[in-house]
Chain A
Amino acid sequence: MSHAKYSVINTPVHNIDGVAKVTGRATYTFDVTLPGMLYGKILRSPHPHAKILNIDATRALELPGVKAVVTGKDTLGIKQGIWRRYEELCDEQILPLEKVRYIGEPVAAVAAVTEEIAEAALDLIDVDYEVLPAVFEPLEAIKKEAPTIHEGVERNVNVTRHIEWGDVDEAFEEADYIREDWFKCSGQHHMCMETRAAVSSFTPDGKLTVWTSTQSAYYHQALLAGVFGLRDGDVRVLAPYVGGGFGGKFEIDSAQFCSGVLSMKLHKPVKIVLTREEDFIASKRRTPMFYYVRTGIKKDGTFCARESRMFSNGGAYTGMGATALYLSGFFHSFPYKWRGYRYDGYRVYTNTMPSTSMRGFGAPQAMFCSEQQIDWICADLGLDPFEVRRKNGHTEGYEVPGQAFIASCGLEQCINEIEKWVKSKGKLPANRGIGISSCGFMSGGIFNWFDSPYSFSSAVVTINFDGTVELHVGCQDIGQGSNTTMAIIAAETLGVKIEDIKVHSGDTDHCPADLGAWGSRQTLMAGNAVKMACEDAKKQLLEFAYAEMGINIVYDLDIKDRWVHIVARPERGLPYGDLVKKALRGKDGQRIVGRGYYTPHRKGMISPAYSYMMQAVDAEIDPETGKIKIYEVMTAHDCGQPINPLGLIGQLEGAASMALGYAYLEDMPFEDGKMMNPNLVDYKVIKAPEMPKTDIIEIDTYEPEGPYGAKEAGEGLTNPTAAALGNAVFNAMGIQMKELPITPERILKALREKKEQEAQK
């Protein structure tokens, strides 16, 4: 339960960057221009797997306006990766020296005085390739006879991950019923409206400044310093407004790397913005996964054991894929109590664009398989899907053996609310069904494969003479509204108004380091750091208040709505503005500065806290065409104490649109390693007319580890939707969808197969 009445928390506010965004004042990396700036373009491999024999840029360099061409020879094939603690997983050369491993991989970059000239120069670079045999699917690439993509990597297995608890075999023996299924989950593109972009400026004093569209200015500072052989402190990364991230913008991309190399060669600013097509073929994507799922259950619906194997299409490089491999396996167990659980994940290299993290981080795939299979088992055994989920669901105080401790959990209430809602709908017309899915998600990962020497989150708060507040944070606002969330937490803690707070973020020179916006970490981790910094500053102010008011030390003082007062006698006090002025004099004119930081300790393997939810999707299927019409998405959600209610609704609706896209529209078909739909005509995202009604019921819980009881919201909401739609199709038509996306063709095929089976009977 929420512990207190708040003045700012959970009250609707305009996002603090709202005016900038609705007036066109918000400038993005896409909008940055610097004096003397050059434009860069990247030549990309047309082959999925080929040796680079020679690159001849003579003709390109002769084109008037061309300033430089760089290749792997300039960067000596330096390898990079975000799993910095594991050298073998830092396997990506942007501008490779010897060979290319996917279509779209950069082979050379040009800087010229205009974008047109740079573009024209690409045609004048001659590259000799020796084409090598290529492999595109993980189940092929893992075979003995498959071509080797990285020297020394046997059977192209990039990373494996084993998770196990309990006696799995014994638990299976106790089961009355065992079901096995294979699933195929597709990739998905982040499709940020702002494509990957960077402006790099290297100056003769040896300092590099990079404006870029990033989810973590600190990661990019450290990664770019690493590849360019500079000290972290000599690289300044600035993230102006960021046009979306969704998990795709915290590794080094080709725009950042190539603009940096070119700028260091030329000592001039170089801007590279990927075209939509480049962004599609040569960034990264949600990891495609093959899942084998075997589940054992008792007649009464008690879960006994689960054993799963997963093969993911890793594409050409590791990136964040190793994390997705672990998280997928962990959340595949969610949100249930298994006596025995075993997961073996294999991330396999292929000659396709690399796969990585994307909103949900392996969990949407895991839930698509798990939550559908649970409904099928319920149908096989005549069990009630709500009852079975309630019976086996996580509860407060549960420990996922050796992995996680669940301090707050509103799953049961979520299930109850959705059950009520589904029942209220009564009998549905033919070909229409409601499907459900429950799940949970982490509130920030506790992993440090990046090997950051800094606290996971930090904040510095400074109070000016007039009472206004400068809040410096390293967390990154990519549109999810973290700056507003931090301002709300700061205003609540200091007892001031949100308009008193200015948030400074996205600048490594002026903001403390923070791992950034990924893994749903900012509300909890950066929120805790901000709260601690503000408590520190407030304590300093209250010391002066005690002296000023001359009150008995047994009384508690507090500040609320800019009023400093005795908690027991709120009318006795003084204005916050007056106190600040006096306090500064008492400090020899120094501004009040508070510091806060957060690094999780002894919080298990994954996360300090978990959100929970259940979602229902109401859909109709046209049996003639296989087309799906979605009427409504209803969600019951436990994210602890909501901080920014308007932002929360936005996260829910945004997650639903992205997850519905994943469920039935968005696909990335490849032919011989070539993506067949790298544009917004053929890559279908949800548009306004298809978007259904989306309502939410917030379940009131309090997370002890979160600031003011808050935890994750927004990323986890991407997880249940594909499964819920699959279950809706199952309930409407009696067909089992084992492959994503759920397209009309796949529905028609399943309907045909069902008919044939019935005819045989």
Chain B
Amino acid sequence: MEKQLLRFKVNGDEYEVYINPKTLLAEVIRDHLGFTGTKRGCETVSCGACTVNVNGFSVKSCSVLAIQCQDMDVTTVEGLEKNGKLSPIQRAFLDNGSYQCGFCTPGMLMSSTAFLEELKGEVPTEEKIRESIEGNVCRCTGYNSIVRAIDAVAQGKYKEE
């Protein structure tokens, strides 16, 4: 198949890559650009380890073709910190011990980040928080520490540094 030019932004920087139009976004991010923070945990779009944000929405990068992200703005876990300062949800994960092996963590952080942005300051119920990470499987933590971290950020306990 003829390769196509994909021009898009990842973590604020412009990239141009020639890709097979069937290539998944997850592959371009990991294999072509080397952002290996984004993980894969399944072939059935059911684990959320590959979650990234595309134009502010959380997207499972194994479920979209990279070429669909033409001219779009993609954020991966590597894009959450700014000038060496961790984002509120990253700091809340540290304080609450919301990770163990860490393999689901990038996806969890990306789902939580999109959720927190959508809230626009509104304080969510615990049920809403749990739903926001329903698509992310974690085999280690039992989720409750992740819920506490999201809740702490939603409550305004962490400010952007």
Contacts and interface: CB of A to CB of B under 8 A. Distances in A.
A34 interface: no
Nearest to A30: B39
* Most central of B102, B127, B136, B145 by chain A CB within 10 Å: B102
B123 to A, nearest CB: 18
A691 B130 contact: yes
A393 to B, nearest CB: 27
B141 A653 contact: yes
B143 interface: yes
Contact of B81 (A23, A31, A246, A276): A23
B121 interface: no
Mostly, the B contact residues are loop
Contacts of A691: 130, 142-144
A276 B38 contact: no
A192 B36 CA distance: 18
Contacts of A281: none
A309 B15 CA distance: 64
Interface in A348-401: none
Interface stretch (B1-9, B43-51, B63-71, B151-159): B43-51
Interface residues of B, number: 53
B39 to A, nearest CB: 7
A67 B153 CA distance: 51
A191 B109 CA distance: 21
Given A649-B97, A653-B145, A243 B103 contact: yes
B16 interface: no
Interface in A643-693: 646-647, 649-650, 652-658, 679-681, 685-689, 691, 693
Given A21-B99, A277-B43, A691-B130, A27 B142 contact: no
A687 B139 contact: no
Given A18-B99, A31-B36, A481-B100, A679 B46 contact: yes
Nearest to A652: B142
Contacts of A30: 39-40
B100 A654 contact: yes
B46 A680 contact: yes
A679 B97 contact: no
Contacts of A276: 41-44, 47
A244 B46 CA distance: 18
B140 interface: yes
A26 B99 CA distance: 12
Interface residues of A, number: 56
B13 to A, nearest CB: 15
B100 A24 contact: no
A585 interface: no
Nearest to A27: B36
Contacts of B133: 688
A243 B43 contact: no
B122 interface: no
Given A15-B97, A244-B101, A193 B137 contact: yes
Interface string A1-22: 0000000000000110111111
A275 interface: yes
B147 interface: yes
Contact of B101 (A19, A241, A656): A241
B11 to A, nearest CB: 10
Contacts of B136: 687-688
Nearest to B38: A24
A193 B103 contact: yes
Contacts of B102: 17, 20-22, 26, 241, 243, 479
Given A17-B102, A193-B47, A22 B144 contact: no
A192 B39 contact: no
B17 interface: no
B95 interface: yes
Interface string B61-102: 000000000000000111011000010001001111101111
B146 A688 contact: yes
18 contacts: A17-B102, A20-B102, A22-B93, A24-B35, A24-B76, A192-B101, A244-B140, A246-B139, A276-B42, A277-B43, A647-B97, A649-B145, A654-B100, A654-B140, A680-B137, A685-B137, A691-B144, A693-B144
Interface of A: 14-15, 17-28, 30-31, 190-195, 241-244, 246, 275-277, 478-481, 646-647, 649-650, 652-658, 679-681, 685-689, 691, 693-694
Given A275-B43, A654-B141, 7 more contacts: A14-B95, A23-B78, A28-B103, A193-B103, A194-B41, A194-B103, A481-B100
Top 9 closest A-B pairs, CB basis? Answer: A24-B37, A479-B101, A243-B103, A653-B142, A21-B102, A657-B142, A24-B77, A479-B100, A646-B97
